Structure 1
Amino acid sequence: MRAAGNLLGTELSTPVDLGGSRRSTVLRCRTAGGGSVIVKSFSDDPRGLRGFVSEAAGLSLGLAGPELLGVDTDVPLVVMADLGDAPSLADVLLGEDPEAAEEGLLTWARGLGRLAAGSVRRRADLARLWTRYGNGTPSWEDEPWLERSATALLAQLAEAGVAAPPGLAGELAEIRTVVEKEYPAFTPGDTCADNNLLTPEGLRLIDFESACFQSVFLTAAYCRMPFATCWCVFRIPAGLAEEVESTFRAEVVTAYPALAEDAVWQAGMRRAIAVWTTFMTAHMLPRAAEDGPMHRTRRPVPTRRQVLRHRWETAGAIEEYPAFAETMRLLLREVAGRWEDTPPLPVYPAFGGYRRSSR
């Protein structure tokens, strides 16, 4: 608080803990003038430092999120404008108002699409800002996470007693090679349903700890899967799910006209779904030996087994990669087939008894 106050030239008081993570502490603090700011400090381990550099560089672009008021590279911490207590998309999806949930999804998709489209010429700016704050910290774009998740999936299959079909490693390498190069755009990184605020002024994104440029399809896949890496995963009613994806796509086409071609779009989406399913299977399969909720405290939430089975069902239809699709079907049969007491993934609570509004 002293360091943040020195940045702003004012005394800060009355801290309120907003949650944070293992890598960060997030406080809402009062200023001497009666206003409030958000102070986010980071641990000094490698993951915490990378999260700090991502947050500082990503917010400094000024493309999305709260206004960045100050950066201290020694603590390290950032100070941001306080956006208030507006609900997140997760709040409305887990609530009881289907109209609010529908509007929230479309606002979220439109905002993410506009961010991606408006960022395509700013990649060099992000690299410059990363160098400014990073002090040698490797960027997320230098992280071989796609290769690591593929290697981890192969290891997890072996541990689960599932024989990897011939050609799986080659298909995963081919998918990775394409995804690493196609249609780059900026993303805060973790565009889950709770990392945003639905303010009266529109969508404001929060949590830039994984900010980077990556294939626009990796963000678009959050519309279809939905929320590829999130705890807040239920099904979106079919007609609405298509509109959410179309809303995102309509924005990014302005930057990448080739994405108007259905063949280009659908192939990119299938690759992105394969990437995220690989990543989440490698991450979650060991923890699915004992089922449990996807979040420690939030309710309602699905269980790990519900989410994994839903992911495998979706990815099992990616037929242009036959070994990958067969792997998903093997997981459904040989692993999920033993989960007899696991019900199917339901729709989001807000859409119980949902009927589409006319548009």
Structure 2
Amino acid sequence: MTVDTSPGTEDDQDPPATAVPVSETAAVDAAVQAAETVLTRRFGSPIGLVEPEALPGSGPATVVRARIAASPFGLPRTLVIKHYPDAPPRGVADPFAQEAVSYQLFTALPAEDRMCPELLAHDGPLRVLVIDDLGRAPTLWDKLRGPDARPAERALLSWARSLGRLHATTAGREADFEALLRRLGGFAPDEDTTPAVACARLPTLLEEALGVGTPDDVRAYAEQVRESSASSPFRAFSPVDLSPDNNLVTSGGLHFLDFERGVVRNALVDAAHLRVPFATCDDARALPTGMSEAMIAAWKAEVSGVWPALADNEVLSAHLLDHQMLLVWVATWAALGGSSAGISQHRAAALVAWWQDLGTYAERGGKDAVAAHARAVSAALDDRFGPGLELPLYPAFR
């Protein structure tokens, strides 16, 4: 979903994200009623909400912006409601609980360390969150598809720096996160098994779809990386969904949204997206030369105080290579795991570029077998879906 933030600097003057027209549907009414109830309980006096505006979203929540009719408590003029009417089946992770706990975790931090809207009220039985409405401002995606490279560069660096700060401020908070989850009746999701499945199945897919074998030492390296990733000491909170439309560029810096999948996990899984930007997005595109390195430097500056080992460039590069490889393997397995004929040329071009980059970084890191395999896969993907595939830059950098 997309929630807008307030305009302030010159970077915030893009057209606001398009909202769904106001509609008095049962879902919107239910969200507003739940919000009024929890706000009244929270502040001890009736608080009415008017002019509800449904906001777009792809998750299970009904998302509404509403104006406070009158309040003596100094609340913001407008706020955003996220209502999760349906509880998940027993044993399935609850996106409401994960999002509520994520906001609780950040709302407890000092304002300067809070990289998301403030949680104003929430209620477990009602399954509703009420958060600060930061107004209307562009997303990171808006900047990347805009007409000017400089605002896009600043937004990317702000995103990387904020991601590092998010990790640094939540390192060592896993026990707090899990305790808050239990209080809401949720539970910490099991470690993501997707990398294990990808490591086990991708070699066969590469052989069948592309005719490329995976050497035993490359398979062993991938499995070793997967195992060590799950037991990494570099654990911190992650929004998991790092799509650029879930990151808002405001006068006060970048803000993260949508914590429906928020967990504590290996922070280097997130950091790998600095080398393979927005790999989970269907419309992922290329960044200009040197941009990833600048983003990594911005992230590193924030986390090295908490994790001194990552201040060493060689150590950090080795960790990033490991998780870059995992991310590329997972993305390729996801693409080839269905009907390979259904892969768009754009997605195929992204895979070609990511495998090429993996080969370059692996060679720099002394992983010659990984580099050779990556180049073979890249060439085979281009032959299969091209030839001559090239991943276009984001519009701001053309």
- TM-score range (shorter-chain normalised) is 0.7 to 0.9
> Mean alpha-carbon deviation: is it higher for 332-341 or for 58-67?
332-341
Q: Name 1:296's counterpart in structure 2.
A: none
Partner of 2:307: 256
Instruction: Give the aligned partner of residue 27 of structure 1.
Output: 64
Query: In the aligned structure 2, how far is the partner of 1:245 from the partner of 1:74?
Result: 41
Give the count of matched residue pairs. 341
Q: Specify the alignment match of 2:379 in structure 1.
A: 333
CA spacing shift, 1:173–1:321, aligned 2, 3 Å:
farther
Gaps of at least 5 residues in structure 2 are 1-30, 41-46, 72-76, 107-113
Larger radius of gyration: 2
For residues 143 and 305 of structure 1, do their structure 2 counterparts lie closer, same or farther at Cα, with a shift above 3 Å needed?
A: closer
Alignment of 1:162-241 (within 5 A): 162=211, 163-180=213-230, 181-241=232-292
Preserved contact between residue 221 and residue 228 of structure 1 (Cα < 8 Å): no
TM-score (norm 1): 0.85
Whether 2:56 is the aligned partner of 1:6: answer no
- TM-aligned CA deviation for residue 50 of structure 1: 2.8
Structure 1 CA distance for aligned equivalents of residues 133 and 376 of structure 2: 48
Alignment partner of 1:315 out of 346, 358, 362: 358
Q: Structure 1: which 5+ runs fail to align?
A: 294-302, 353-359
SS of the residue 1:210 aligns to: coil
User: Is the contact made by 2:349 and 2:382 (CA closer than 8 Å) also made in structure 1?
Assistant: no
CA distance in 2, matches of 1:44, 1:342: 48
Counterpart of 1:247 (choices 252, 274, 298) is 298
Shift of the alpha carbon at 1:242?
1.9
How far apart in 1 are the matches of 2:354 and 2:257?
26
Q: Decide which of 265, 290, 307 is 2:342's aligned counterpart.
A: 290
Moved more, 200-209 or 265-274: 200-209
Distance 1:292 1:142 in 2: 30
Deviations 1:309-344 (A, max 9, x none): 222222234256666545534432333312226630
Instruction: Give, in whole Å, the separation in 1 of the partners of 2:256 and 2:102.
Output: 11
RMSD: 2.6
Query: 1:341 & 1:169 partners in 2: Cα distance?
Result: 27
Rounded Cα–Cα distance in structure 1 between residues aligned with 2:66 and 2:295: 36
Q: Offset of 1:161 from its aligned partner? A: 5.7
TM-score, normalization by structure 2:
0.77
Structure 1 runs (4+) deviating above 4 angstroms are 46-49, 319-327
Would the alpha carbon gap of residues 287 and 86 (structure 1) be closer, same or farther in structure 2, given more than 3 Å must change?
farther
Q: For residues 283-312 of structure 1, what are the alpha-carbon distances to aligned partners after superposition, in whole Å with 9 as ceiling and x for unaligned?
A: 22225522448xxxxxxxxx2212222222
Deviations 1:84-114 (A, max 9, x none): 1111111111101111111111111111111
Task: Tell me if structure 2 keeps the 8 A contact 1:91–1:194.
Answer: yes
Once the two structures are aligned, what percentage of the paired residues are identical? 33
Distance 1:48 1:21 in 2: 19
